[in-house]
Amino acid sequence: MDKSDSLKALNALSNETRLDVFRLLVKAGEAGMPAGAISEELGIVQNTMSSGLSILVAAGLIRGDREGRSIRYYAEMDGMRGLLAFLMADCCGGNPETCAPLLSELTPKC
Work out how many domains the chain is built from and give that number.
1
Interval 37-54: pLDDT, tens: 999 999 999 888 999 999
CB atoms within 10 A of CB 91: 13
Interval 15-32: pLDDT, tens: 999 999 999 999 999 999
Are the beta carbons of 47 and 66 closer than 8 angstroms?
no
Range of the domain at 60: 3-109
- CATH label of the domain that carries residue 78: 1.10.10.10
* Bridge partners, 73 (sequence order): 33, 64
Are the beta carbons of 92 and 103 closer than 8 angstroms?
no
Q: Output the furthest CA–CA distance in the chain (Å, rounded).
A: 51
Which pTM value belongs to this model?
Answer: 0.85
